[in-house]
Structure 1
Amino acid sequence: MVPTAVSPHSFARSVITHLNDTTLPLSTPQPSQTAAAPLDSSLNHVPPATSDDLVQTINSLDTEIQTIKAQVYKKLLANYGAFSESFEYTLELKDKIDGLLERADNMTSRTTDPENGLRQTVMSALVEHHEISHRVQESNGIQEGLKHFSRVEDILSRYEAFMDSGKILQAGHCIQQAEQCSRMTDAIDQMLDDLIANAIHYQYPTDDTGIHYKVTISYDIKVPALALPRSSSNSTPGLIRWHELIRALTLLDVAQEKLRPLQKDLLNVFAFIHRNIFLNDYSSSEFNAEEFSSDTEILTHFLGRNIAKETCTMISKYYLSRVVPTDINGLREFSSIASAATHLEDELIALGFLTEADRDLRVFVENIDIHYTNNRRDTLLRQGRAVIMSEDFKTIQVKDLDKDDDLEKDGDAWGRIADIDTDVKESSISIKAKQLVDMILSTLHEAQSLSENASPHLYKATRSLIDLYRALMPVHHARALTNVPALAILFYNDCMYIARELEKIPARLEDGIPGMDEVQYDESIPALKSLARKWFNTQLQKQREELMQSLDGTGGFQDSSVDSNFGACERSMKQVVFVFKHLGKVWKSTLSPMTFYKSLGQLLDEVSKRVIKELEDLPDISEKESHKLATLCGLLFECEDQFDSAGALVEVAKGDTFDDEDPIHFFVPSWQKFQLLTDILELSFAEIMTRFRAGQLHLFEEGELSDLICAIFADTPLRKHNLEEIEQGHPVALSHHTH
């Protein structure tokens, strides 16, 4: 039986448990413990301890300690047997572990021994296996190489024989059978270049001869000597004819590359082929490549469908498409280029290389209007994008532009509805807007001289330019438009100006443009105006937040009679006035008058309404505080001068209802109430009631007026009587019949 192991921790826990066992016999309570109660209850009644008491207490403690020791020894003796068995079992385990460690050391030494170790043996075997594998691969490679060399040797012999006799086609087959032979490929490539060089001779004009450019093509082509080490010095090069050379080029798939020189004088080349190869007796409109009966048909199909047709395609793609005019004058001058292109195509059809169905050049030049509009559209958008992306925000007065505009001289000539709220006649715009409008108008005037198929494309290009402006302007200039109030307002004017000019286009183009019943921008105009209002309202909201943030410094005008609080309120109100006047200075030269006054009026109305509300919310206003508040309100009166020149506009806007009122009251609806509140803060109770009875305080609700009186004046029988009169409602007076 394996003895039960008792760990040191288990043994210690057992000892502590027995020490804490309350069942152990203990001696009588210690004197020190019994004496504790009297000490807690009444320290004054315990007599002092004597020496006998101390001796007795010490003896009791010794006895108790001896008893506890005896119990501990008893427990130790009781568990001694289990402890001994565990200790012996531990020794056995130690011996076994030592044996295992010794065996592990032996295995490690047998594995890592530098001479006889297992690791060294395995490494040696792997190296030997790698070397044997490499030798086997080399042997296999040599065998494959010998087989391949034998096959290539045979191909090379046949290749040289074909080349000596000028049989290029058969030599080409040899190349296809031995693609790995780069020398052969290089040789046949050089041979083809030499053959084409011998076949085509160019004569350039010089001052001495005075001849024109001329190309000469040889029908029988002399085969150049083969430049290979194995070639026979006694070999005699033969002759090759054009049809053999072309078939070789075709089979080797290098025709397009090798025949590029033929493109320099197309008509001479094709005339030569027609005269010397087809002998003027062959022509056909259609060929079936699967039913060729002769080399002539093969060559005609190749040259006609691949060389001639491909040449016309290249002319269309790489020449005509790049000389498409970019302006209307160039379009008129394109006729000479169109004539030359169609003449070339006519000649190729007459020679039989092309058919009527192959007229790519004529199709291109007949649709030059479409190509022009596509080119013009790309140019318009590219130039428009440069204008939009420009950081130049120079301004110009709209009224200066309208001086030369016949439609503006006769305001009703273009059937517009005059709207003083959105009229930009008296405002400023950026040069960008003027440039974009000029681009649109010039493009539409060009469209009037084009065909019905082309004109609508230019009209659509102008709409694309407007869409580009609406998409790019707010993104590329977002930071400037957000942080600079003047630029945001300028952008608003630009959008409104462009929209106004688009509205005038039907009147400018009375005859319209070909292919369209009416030229209108019914979708673009509302989109521009919506974009303008969006950014305008965003800027107004930003300025409103700045004014409200300045008013936050007043702290609701609480305790304004205290000097420190009054100073903070005064600084806040002056900041409001500064921001307001700065906006007036920046916007007045940019916005139209009506928009300018309405914008400032909206902001000042928000400020005055907040001040009124915060003053009405004050629960108690002392006499001193009332005068202080009136002084603070008086600071805002500096803003009134911004509206001094607005009387004429108010008269136009109100028409027959105009009664020579203060213009600020038209643009700032709460301003009159703000003025009355300032007066109330300074008036006596009797003066307030006099104005009330005259109907001059009708802008205040009865409750508002009662709360103000309760805050300003103490509770007296007179105040009670007057409040009862106010609660009965405002009297009807002539002074406010019209309000």
Structure 2
Amino acid sequence: MAEYDVQSMLNNIFDIDDLNTWKPSEKILLVIKEIDTIKNDTKTFLGNSDHDLDAILKESLELTQESKSVVDDMEQCRQEIEQETMAEVLRSIESHDYITKELQSVEFALNIVSDVLQCGKYVKEFEDGRQASSFTRAVEAVYDLLQYIELPAEGFKDLDLYSNTRHTGQLILDNLLHDLYAEWDRLVVTDVKTGNRRTIVNITLNLDDSRIVSDILNALEKSKKLAEKVTTFSQFLMKDVIQPIINNECVVFAETDEFMNVTINHKPDFKPTYDAVIANLRLLFHYLSNKLNFEFRRDMTLMKMIGSQLSVEFRDLLVKDCLIHTIPNNINELQTYGVITSEIENFQHFLAMLKFFPDENFSILEYVNNIDVLFADKSSQYFLESARQIMLKDLSVTMSIGVENIPEDNAGSSSAPDESLAEALKILDKTIPKSLFYFPRCMISRTAQELLDLVYVMMEQAVQCSDVVSKKLYNTTRLVFELYDAVVPYHHEKYLQTIPQYVALFHNNCMYLAHNLQTFGDKWLILMEGRELDYPISFVDLVPRLRELGCRHLAAHMQQQRKQILDNIRSSDLNCIVVKDVLGDNAEAAVRQCLRQLHLLKNVWVGILPNNVFTRLMSTLVNMFVEELIHRVCTVEDISMEMASQLTDMYSVVVQKAPQLLQSPSDVETHVASWTKLSLLIFVLGGSLKDIEAHWRDGTGPLSVHFRTEELRSLIKALFQNTQFRANLLAKIK
């Protein structure tokens, strides 16, 4: 029967395009007719079919009856199972529970018996190990026993056997460890004898690759005590042997294959050379390698164990306390430093060959990677220490420096400068004095020149080195002059406070160093030409500091000299003229003492200070002395004739002696401001009113120039009696 197309049938009956024209009643007949047609087709198809439908139906009914019979049988079986079989199952379950309990009881007993047998087995293995003189087997058996009873079977802990076994095992282990420690102490013997002058270290190693030694080491390894013993021995080597070898004078001597003696001599401030240290360390490690470099188990030696603990500490100590001191402090030695690094590299290969270093990449020479930084630090430290030693030297060891006269013109040049250069030089001559480039003739301490020579060496070395070193040395050079400011005044403080020669020399030293620092930076830059610098080079900022340092100490000494002069005058009768009619002898003695003081100062300073500085300082002190003498007289209300005569004689001595204090007698009139005033005071003390009137000359004479009106009136009142002539003169002096 062909497939029926329902959709086509519906499309034929119902016209979609004409939905509004047909009625349902009209279509019902068509649908019924179509259904009838389908029924007829179905009957025809069934009539023509090959299958016997009636037989199929009959067979189906028979199968239904048989299925029902089977269901009834199954229901009957279910009832029988519930009534008979389930009872048997319940009886079986009860029997199973009983059997299970019996099995658990048997298993509990079996586990306890098994633990007892196993403990006995371990005890037997221990006895076998002891009889075979094998520490390793004995230790393994005891450790296995103690480890096994840590997780016993249930119930085993409740037995007396458990506590007895555990206690016995621990006791056996303690005895084994005691015996092993004794064996270790027999194999490794150390002795240190400390004295005031020397320390003697003795090492005896009875280790070899024999079975007995290997057994002892393996037993210590199994008991986890070998690392502890090796650590103790390693610390002994580092503290009592290696460190003294690196830092002290030592004699390392292996008397036999087993015995080594290390003698450490205690010498203060002694540092052994690097080659002596390496030679002693080679002897030590060669001895240790002969006794410790055997395998007591696979790929493991005592030398490797010691190396794993000490290699890093040993390298750091060797570099810090020995090799770092081999870094040179000058460029010439740095260029030949490869000889030293070659020796260190050979020593490194030696230690690697002995298996002391963990691998080939472990290097002692890592510090050489920063050789520039180390060299810069070493050079800076050396130069600063050298500078400080120079600063501590005696300042009185002198030398002459400078020029007598400043040249008017510079030395002629073979080639004439161009117009622009000539104009620039002309402007420079007008702007900058020639004295800026010349230092006047004077005496300086030889240490000042030594210090200057040292910084020139630093500059010359800096221009030959890398930028890192050059910058470090530049900063160090600046530190040298800052150090000068701190060290010299402090170290020579006592002399600078009491000895005029020291003060003058220190002043000259400061001025000389400051003078050179004005152009020192330019010299440095000229030598550094062509290199790119990331920092400015200048020393000009240090110039005023050094000048101020020298001037400050010189001014302090001038104040001290001034105080001594004033104290001499004020402690004499010149300080109490108003209450005396006649001066005592101490007044003239005080004046002469001041002159002697100034004369001694001249003898010290005249050959040391530059001429202009000496003249300025001495004229300042003379002027202060003269002003004090004038002040003593001008403030008195009454002066007797005898005292006036005494004052005239004393002050005449000053006029006679003071010019000799300067380099040229004529300098006194030029540089001592109160000199003319002193001469006029002597004139007033010995003159008459008529002479004073003549020198006053109605306010136009010399007295009016050098004396204030009040001073002159006070002098006249103190020296002369009250007469009409005096009154008339006083009336004129207003």
Residue 610 of structure 1 corresponds to: 628
For 2:711 and 2:479, the matched residues in 1 are separated by 57
Q: Is this contact kept in 1: 2:139–2:176, CA < 8 A?
A: no
- Write out per-residue CA displacement over residues 524-564 of structure 1, whole angstroms, 9 at most, x where no aligned residue: 4333222212211111111111111111213336279966x
Residue 47 of structure 1 corresponds to: none
Q: Is this contact kept in 2: 1:191–1:224, CA < 8 A?
A: no
For 1:481 and 1:561, the matched residues in 2 are separated by 40
Q: Is this contact kept in 1: 2:497–2:557, CA < 8 A?
A: yes
Letter in 1 for 2:702: Q
Residue 578 of structure 1 corresponds to: 596
1:305-454, aligned counterparts within 5 Å? Answer: 306=309, 309-310=312-313, 312-339=315-342, 341=344, 353-354=358-359, 361-362=365-366, 364-391=367-394, 393-399=396-402, 425-454=440-469
Letter in 2 for 1:221: D
Residue 713 of structure 1 corresponds to: 720
Residue 667 of structure 1 corresponds to: 671
| CA 1:455–1:396: 2 relative to 1, 3 Å | same
1:633 equivalent among 631, 651, 668: 651
- Write out per-residue CA displacement over residues 135-188 of structure 1, whole angstroms, 9 at most, x where no aligned residue: xxxxxxxxxxxxxxxxxxx9xx99995994364995999999769998864530
Residue 702 of structure 1 corresponds to: 709
The answer to whether the aligner puts 1:165 opposite 2:134 as a matched pair is yes
For 1:168 and 1:665, the matched residues in 2 are separated by 114
For 1:402 and 1:241, the matched residues in 2 are separated by 92
The answer to whether the aligner puts 1:558 opposite 2:577 as a matched pair is yes
| CA 1:394–1:580: 2 relative to 1, 3 Å | same
Query: How far apart are residue 600 of structure 1 and its match?
Result: 1.1
Query: How far apart are residue 578 of structure 1 and its match?
Result: 1.0
For 1:239 and 1:189, the matched residues in 2 are separated by 11
1:482-631, aligned counterparts within 5 Å? Answer: 482-511=497-526, 517-552=535-570, 553-556=572-575, 558=577, 565-631=583-649
Query: How far apart are residue 388 of structure 1 and its match?
Result: 2.9
Q: Is this contact kept in 2: 1:506–1:518, CA < 8 A?
A: no
Letter in 1 for 2:551: R
| CA 1:717–1:338: 2 relative to 1, 3 Å | same
Q: Is this contact kept in 2: 1:345–1:359, CA < 8 A?
A: yes
Letter in 2 for 1:615: V
> What percentage of residue pairs aligned between the two structures are identical?
20
1:209-220, aligned counterparts within 5 Å? Answer: none
For 1:446 and 1:541, the matched residues in 2 are separated by 44
Counterpart of 1:326 in 2: which secondary structure? coil
For 1:180 and 1:682, the matched residues in 2 are separated by 121
Q: Is this contact kept in 2: 1:444–1:459, CA < 8 A?
A: yes
For 1:160 and 1:409, the matched residues in 2 are separated by 106
Q: Is this contact kept in 2: 1:175–1:185, CA < 8 A?
A: no
2:695 equivalent among 691, 699, 712: 691
Q: Is this contact kept in 2: 1:618–1:711, CA < 8 A?
A: yes
Counterpart of 2:444 in 1: which secondary structure? strand
| CA 1:178–1:395: 2 relative to 1, 3 Å | farther
The answer to whether the aligner puts 1:264 opposite 2:267 as a matched pair is no
Counterpart of 1:365 in 2: which secondary structure? helix
Query: How far apart are residue 454 of structure 1 and its match?
Result: 1.9
Letter in 1 for 2:695: R
Q: Is this contact kept in 1: 2:208–2:294, CA < 8 A?
A: no
Query: How far apart are residue 269 of structure 1 and its match?
Result: 12
| CA 1:365–1:532: 2 relative to 1, 3 Å | same
| CA 1:677–1:376: 2 relative to 1, 3 Å | same
Query: How far apart are residue 379 of structure 1 and its match?
Result: 2.6
Q: Is this contact kept in 2: 1:557–1:569, CA < 8 A?
A: no
Counterpart of 1:708 in 2: which secondary structure? helix
Query: How far apart are residue 722 of structure 1 and its match?
Result: 2.3
Does 668-677 or 619-628 show the bigger shift?
Answer: 619-628
| CA 1:703–1:575: 2 relative to 1, 3 Å | same
Q: If the length of structure 1 is used for normalisation, what is the TM-score?
A: 0.56
| CA 1:453–1:324: 2 relative to 1, 3 Å | same
Larger radius of gyration: 2
Counterpart of 2:733 in 1: which secondary structure? helix
Counterpart of 1:589 in 2: which secondary structure? coil
Query: How far apart are residue 584 of structure 1 and its match?
Result: 0.8
What is the CA RMSD across the aligned residues, in angstroms?
5.4
- Write out per-residue CA displacement over residues 363-393 of structure 1, whole angstroms, 9 at most, x where no aligned residue: x113223222322333333333333333462
Letter in 2 for 1:576: C
Query: How far apart are residue 312 of structure 1 and its match?
Result: 4.2
The answer to whether the aligner puts 1:458 opposite 2:458 as a matched pair is no
| CA 1:707–1:401: 2 relative to 1, 3 Å | closer
Query: How far apart are residue 334 of structure 1 and its match?
Result: 0.3
Query: How far apart are residue 596 of structure 1 and its match?
Result: 1.0
Counterpart of 1:428 in 2: which secondary structure? strand
Q: Is this contact kept in 2: 1:169–1:248, CA < 8 A?
A: no
Q: If the length of structure 2 is used for normalisation, what is the TM-score?
A: 0.56
Q: Is this contact kept in 2: 1:550–1:576, CA < 8 A?
A: yes
Counterpart of 1:618 in 2: which secondary structure? coil
Query: How far apart are residue 349 of structure 1 and its match?
Result: 10
Query: How far apart are residue 494 of structure 1 and its match?
Result: 1.9
Query: How far apart are residue 677 of structure 1 and its match?
Result: 1.4
Letter in 2 for 1:555: L
Task: Give the count of matched residue pairs.
Answer: 501
Q: Is this contact kept in 2: 1:470–1:531, CA < 8 A?
A: yes
For 2:184 and 2:496, the matched residues in 1 are separated by 69
For 1:502 and 1:184, the matched residues in 2 are separated by 75
- Write out per-residue CA displacement over residues 195-253 of structure 1, whole angstroms, 9 at most, x where no aligned residue: xxxxxxxxxxxxxxxxxxxxxxxx9921457xxxxxxxxxxx869799979x9753431
- Write out per-residue CA displacement over residues 287-338 of structure 1, whole angstroms, 9 at most, x where no aligned residue: xxxxxxx987999996886565555445433442131213332211102333
Residue 189 of structure 1 corresponds to: 185
Letter in 2 for 1:556: N
Q: Is this contact kept in 2: 1:673–1:699, CA < 8 A?
A: yes
For 2:611 and 2:452, the matched residues in 1 are separated by 23
1:227-238, aligned counterparts within 5 Å? Answer: none
For 1:331 and 1:402, the matched residues in 2 are separated by 45
Counterpart of 2:399 in 1: which secondary structure? strand
Counterpart of 1:454 in 2: which secondary structure? helix
Q: Is this contact kept in 2: 1:427–1:591, CA < 8 A?
A: yes
| CA 1:423–1:263: 2 relative to 1, 3 Å | closer
For 2:378 and 2:171, the matched residues in 1 are separated by 48
Residue 723 of structure 1 corresponds to: 730
1:195-210, aligned counterparts within 5 Å? Answer: none
Letter in 1 for 2:388: R
| CA 1:348–1:238: 2 relative to 1, 3 Å | closer
For 2:172 and 2:393, the matched residues in 1 are separated by 60
1:127-166, aligned counterparts within 5 Å? Answer: 161=130, 164-165=133-134
| CA 1:510–1:533: 2 relative to 1, 3 Å | same
Q: Is this contact kept in 1: 2:136–2:218, CA < 8 A?
A: no
Counterpart of 1:529 in 2: which secondary structure? helix
Query: How far apart are residue 452 of structure 1 and its match?
Result: 1.3
Query: How far apart are residue 422 of structure 1 and its match?
Result: 13
Query: How far apart are residue 704 of structure 1 and its match?
Result: 1.8
